[in-house]
Amino acid sequence: MLTSVVFSLELRSYGANDGGGKGIELPATAGRAIYSLVLGAIAQVDPKLAERLHASGSQPRQPVRFTTSPLQGPLTPTAGGRSVRLDPQGEYWLRVTGLDREVSEQLLELCETLPARGQQWELLGVPLEVVGATAKPEEHPWAAQIAYADLYRRWVVECPRPPRRLGLQFLSPTTFRKGKRNFPFPLPRLVFLTLAEKWNAFSPVHLGADLHEVIDGAVELARYELRTRVLRFPHGPETGFVGRCEYRLLLDRTTAEGDTIGRLLHLLADFAFFAGVGAKTAMGMGQTRREPFASPHRSQAGLDAKVGRTR
């Protein structure tokens, strides 16, 4: 089960750092604090699950069972770019996705209970009240829920023929880990094989090992518009990219194998909306969604790629 819950937030009270009513500041990179905030919220309904999520998150090769977005809303970078200023009257939101049934069910429970209780979250000393939550795409463009089997059926069973091109937009800084180093570039093998690994880790419908064997000859990076972004986590900086890419399928779709691999690549492109791409997706990195390369940026509906930007 895949779930994307969007929590609507408001500032309700102000501390000593409100700048005389001019706004509260947060570090431009708050991913680790958001990760802890989400685990704390889950602990309220299932403490043992929160412990297991925290333990699995410390394992380098263990797929993460949830993702978070950066805080979204009216955020003004301060001089130097190391912090952002919040508008006391602004409306903010945060997205959390669940990649298995257990996590998704707890997120849906939080979606139902937190706004009703007027739950207040504290993000690095900044009080944020949960005033709404939804998993319905008609209520927010970043909310959704779907079963793995239904997503598989959409592309592998019901799609008459997969398109030759697919576009992805990377809305928050994205990177891949190679040993102890970052590789901030969306090569097809890195994007689609990491997505396939996550899918196979959590989905009851296994995709098999075919992609590992044929991926290099199945798809190529055709066009891209990318920019480098650096996130300054407490442990050190992480270099990533944001922007858009178009991938072109190279397989002969008149053959059964070519047609199947093409369908799986499109399936994984949709899966990226929930799973994120690359490293540290539980701390706001790698937020991704399908989007045609030629379409304009949808700044009102999409994540603001400037969130988390530092120099």
The model's pLDDT over 112-124, given as tens digits with 9 standing for 90+, comes to: 988 877 788 999 9
Which domains, ranges and CATH numbers included, belong to the chain?
2-144 (3.30.70.1890), 162-290 (3.30.70.1900)
pLDDT value for 23: 65
Q: What is the DSSP string of 193-244?
A: HHHHHHHHHH-SS---SHHHHHHHHHEEEEEEEEEEEEEEETTEEEEEEEEE
- Cα dihedral sign for 152, 279, 218, 196? negative
Mean residue pLDDT across the chain: 87
Query: Measuring CA to CA, which residue among 76, 199, 91 is closest to residue 140?
Result: 91
pLDDT at 311 over 60: no
Q: Would you place residue 307 in the very low, low, confident or very high pLDDT band (cuts 50, 70, 90)?
A: very low
Residue 50 reports pLDDT greater than 50:
yes
Alpha-carbon distance 111 to 80, whole Å?
A: 36
Q: For the chain, how big is the Rg over CA atoms in Å?
A: 19
Structure tokens at 97: 């996705």
Least trusted range by pLDDT, from 98-102, 264-268, 299-303 = 299-303
> Strand (E) positions, 22-143?
24-27, 66-68, 75-77, 83-86, 91-98, 120-123, 126-134
Q: Classify the phi-psi angles of 293: left when phi > 0, otherwise alpha if psi is within -120 to 50, otherwise beta.
A: alpha
Q: Which of 75, 191, 93 is nearest to 142 (CA)?
A: 93
* Amino acid, res. 1: M
Give residue 214's pLDDT. Answer: 85
pTM of the predicted protein model:
0.89
Band the pLDDT of 184: cuts 50, 70, 90.
very high
- Tokens coding 307: 């969130």
**Lowest-pLDDT choice from 31-35, 117-121, 143-147, 193-197:** 117-121
Average pLDDT, integer, range 214-237: 90
pLDDT band with cut points at 50, 70 and 90 for residue 290: very high
Q: Quick one: DSSP state of residue 274?
A: H
SS3 149: helix
Q: Is the backbone of residue 124 left (phi > 0), alpha (psi -120 to 50) or beta?
A: left
- How would you classify residue 166: left for phi > 0, otherwise alpha for psi between -120 and 50, otherwise beta? beta
Q: Which of 25, 299, 264, 287 is nearest to 152 (CA)?
A: 264
Instruction: Report pLDDT digits (tens) over 295-305.
Output: 444 433 445 44
pLDDT at 19 over 70: no
Distance (Å, rounded) from C-alpha 246 to C-alpha 241? Answer: 15
**72 alpha carbon, distance to own chain's centre:** 13
Instruction: Convert the pLDDT of each residue in 152-182 to its tens digit.
Output: 999 998 888 888 999 999 999 999 988 778 8
Residue pLDDT, tens place only, 53-82: 988 766 667 788 999 999 999 999 987 778
User: From CA 229, how far away is CA 1, in angstroms rounded?
Assistant: 32
pLDDT, position 252: 73
Q: What is the DSSP letter of 268?
A: H
SS3 for 273? helix
- pLDDT reading at 11 higher than 50: yes
